[in-house]
Amino acid sequence: MEPMTMFLCLSIFLLSLLTWKIHKKRLQLPPGPFPLPLLGNVLQGTTVLYDSYRKFYEKYGPVFTIWQGSTPLVVLCGYEALKDALINQSQEFGDRGIFALSGRLTNGYGVLNTNGERWQQLRRFSITVFRNFGMGKRSMEERIQEEARHLIQAVQDTGGKPFNPVHLLGRAVNNIINLTVFGRSWGYEDKTLLKLVNVLNNILLFIRTPLGVIYAAFFKIMRHLPGPHQKIFHDSEIVKSFIREQIQFHRDTLDSNSPRDYIDCFLIKADQEKDLHSSEFSQENLVNTVFELFLAGTETTANTMQFSLLAIITYPHIQERVQKEIDQVVGSDRLPGIADRPQMPYTNAVIHEIQRFLDLAPLALPHMVTQDTVFKGFRLLKGTTVIPLIGSALRDPAHWETPEEFNPEHFLNQNGEFYMCPAFMPFSAGKRVCLGEGLARMEIFLFFTGLLQKFTFTSANQTDTFDLRTLRRAFRKKGLVYKLRAIPRTCTLKN
């Protein structure tokens, strides 16, 4: 037999064997589109699952399987399925599934992409530190209000001329993380700050690109191939090098009786447990946890703020009504505070609707089944990777009157009081709910109300128009560059 014929016969045999193995495995999983050998479903719209899930949902129901290369992923759609998995069966669905990009960026350290004792110790510690340093308390509120003053001044300096708000908002949000982690902030034109923000944005941008999807599907091969995808891992070391320098400075100036920030608290905890074999408070866990806090906590909140300005420009009557409420409750002598939020139901509803409609992170990070379990009539084996499609809850027609429309009334009852719909879960839910949810919610409220107290925002040109349904896709992928005007206003003093 000729070599070429032998090669073809061998290839056909291996392909048939792989197809049979996939078919056998499919029989043990929820239904879904038939995967191609090696490729899986990447050619069937699953690379943008948040846009294509409806056709799969209609055909297969709220639980279906797609294949990323040769790896099956069980997708959960709709509020009821998400609630049952993430909240009612949080123990069974509580582990982190394999996320190749994050895993390589952090090398198995940190809190975002880990399980077991490492995850438990670091998450418990982080939540405690955030609370002690004021997450949900006055001290953190004061820090955010101080940063809001710097942001307001930077906007004031534009003099009512067209400007791009993207960089100002990104730097303001990044400085909140800086204050929490490093105990200090940087000026908006500081080269170090600009470099870090740029690197972090590039990493997150790559994750959403087609090349990023291909890397995730074929990471065992892609990690060894040259190409532009290798740049983000090189760039991540720039951020980690900066973090290590800051850790060393903190170690040299540490006062165990007066911790200044997250790093100080971590170093104190590490010293307390230095002789404890099971302790996870190591240098690498500190570096990578701080790296994750930056990665997860900067772009998402900054993009939400950017989209919020687009929303109020698109709907000036909403902006006017928010400003009226701010004027009546707060006045002009001080910045809005968290204590004002219960008296500002419409403003609170607008902020929540911005987050719901934007649906910035429609796919939660992968979860993994911790034990064999039955879910919605399907038997899921231990180790099965699960993708909670958070965006499907934010657009579930069973819970939202007009799910495809921007409508703050979604969060108001018949008496005009704020109402929290249970299907609102932009930060995910259950054991793996976003670690920085409280901080992000505080930032968005204080920045948004502080800016609208001082300015009326308009498009850069009267002829500019925005379609929010189209633009939200841009934010999910690579953000959006646009210009607007901020016109200083004198608010009506509260009655």
Label residues 319-331 b or e (16+ Cβ within 10 Å = b).
Answer: bebbbebbbebbe
Q: With CA atoms as reference, report the closest residue to 66 among 78, 88, 89, 48.
A: 48
pLDDT of 319 strictly over 90? yes
Residue 93: its pLDDT value, please?
A: 96
pLDDT average, residue stretch 135-146: 77
Query: What value does the mean pLDDT of the chain take?
Result: 87
> In this model, does residue 219 exceed pLDDT 90?
no
- Strand-strand pairing, 385-388 and 71-76: parallel
Q: How many CB atoms lie within 10 A of CB 269?
A: 19
- Residue 35 falls within a domain, yes or no? no
pLDDT band at 144 (very low <50, low <70, confident <90, very high): very high
- Range with the poorest average pLDDT among 7-21, 75-89, 210-224, 284-298: 7-21
Query: Cα-flanking dihedrals φ and ψ of residue 422, to 5°?
Result: -65, -20
Q: Is 23 a domain residue?
A: no
Q: 221-230, 234-243, 310-319, 450-459: which has the minimum mean pLDDT? A: 221-230
434 labelled binding-site residue:
yes
Tell me whether residue 309 is in a domain: yes
Does the pLDDT at position 136 exceed 80? no
> What pLDDT score was predicted for residue 343?
97
Structural domain that includes position 347? 78-488
**Does the pLDDT at position 401 exceed 90?**
yes
Q: Does pLDDT of 122 surpass 50?
A: yes
What pLDDT does 25 receive? 60
With a cut of 80, say whether residue 18 has pLDDT above it.
no
Instruction: Write down the pLDDT at residue 189.
Output: 80
Instruction: Find tokens 């990578």 and name the residue.
Output: 288
State how far the Cα of 248 lies from the Cα of 182, in Å rounded to an integer: 11
pLDDT, tens digit, for every residue of 254-270?
999 989 899 999 999 99
- Quick one: pLDDT band at residue 10, thresholds 50, 70, 90? low
Q: Is 62 left (phi over 0), alpha (psi -120 to 50) or beta?
A: alpha
What sign for the dihedral angle of Cα 92, 296, 438, 271?
positive
**pLDDT band at residue 495 using 50, 70 and 90 as cut-offs:** very low
- pLDDT exceeds cutoff 50 at 493: no
Q: Domain count of the chain?
A: 1
Highest mean pLDDT: which of 9-13, 84-88, 490-494? 84-88
Residue 321 has pLDDT above 90, yes or no: yes
Is there a contact between 215 and 245 (Cβ–Cβ < 8 Å)?
Answer: no
- Is residue 66 situated within a structural domain? no
For the stretch 133-141, contacts whose Cβ atoms lie closer than 8 Å and that sit 24 or more positions apart, written own/partner, are: 133/180, 133/261, 133/262, 133/265, 135/438, 135/439, 135/442, 136/438, 136/442, 140/180, 140/439, 140/442, 141/337, 141/338, 141/442, 141/446
Within a domain: 164: yes
3-state secondary structure the chain: CCHHHHHHHHHHHHHHHHHHHHHHHHCCCCCCCCCECCCECCCCCHHHHHHHHHHHHHHHCCEEEEEECCEEEEEECCHHHHHHHHHHCCCCCCEECCCHHHHHHHCCCCCCCCCHHHHHHHHHHHHHHHHHCCCCCHHHHHHHHHHHHHHHHHHHCCCCCCECHHHHHHHHHHHHHHHHHHCCCCCCCCHHHHHHHHHHHHHHHHHHCHHHHHHHHCHHHHCCCCCHHHHHHHHHHHHHHHHHHHHHHHHHCCCCCCCCCHHHHHHHHHHHCCCCCCCCCCHHHHHHHHHHHHHHHCHHHHHHHHHHHHHHHHCHHHHHHHHHHHHHHCCCCCCCCHHHHHHCHHHHHHHHHHHHHHCCCCECCCEECCCCEEECCEEECCCCEEEEEHHHHHCCCCCCCCCCCCCHHHHECCCCCECCCCCCCCCCCHHHCCCCHHHHHHHHHHHHHHHHHHEEEEECCCCCCCCHHHHHHHHHHCCCCCCEEEEECCCCCCC
pLDDT (0 to 100) of residue 7: 52
Q: Are 349 and 418 in contact (CB under 8 A)?
A: yes
Give the mean pLDDT of 7-19: 54
- Sorted by sequence, the CB contacts under 8 Å of residue 52 that are 6+ apart come out as 45, 46
Determine, yes or no, domain membership for 290.
yes
pLDDT mean over 17-43: 69
Q: Looking at residue 470, what is its pLDDT?
A: 77
pLDDT at 391 over 70: yes
Q: What CATH number has the domain bearing residue 170?
A: 1.10.630.10
Let me know if 375 is exposed, middle or buried by CB neighbors in 10 A (0-12, 13-18, 19+): buried
Amino acid at the residue 254? L
Q: In the numeric block, which tokens belong to residue 150?
A: 């710097």
Average pLDDT over residues 223-250: 89
pTM of the model as a whole: 0.89
Task: Tell me whether residue 40 is in a domain.
Answer: no
pLDDT digits (tens, 9 = 90+) for 68-111: 877 889 999 999 999 999 999 999 999 999 877 788 889 899 99
Q: CA torsion angle for 448, 453, 454, 455 (degrees, to 10)?
A: 70
Give me the pLDDT at residue 213, please: 73
- Checking if the pLDDT of 47 tops 70, the result is no
pLDDT at site 9: 57
Q: Grade residue 416 by pLDDT with cuts at 50, 70 and 90.
A: very high
Query: What one-letter code names the amino acid at 35?
Result: P
What is the predicted pLDDT for the residue at 137? 56
The model's pLDDT over 422-457, given as tens digits with 9 standing for 90+, comes to: 999 999 999 999 988 989 999 999 999 999 999 999
- Is 6 inside a domain boundary? no
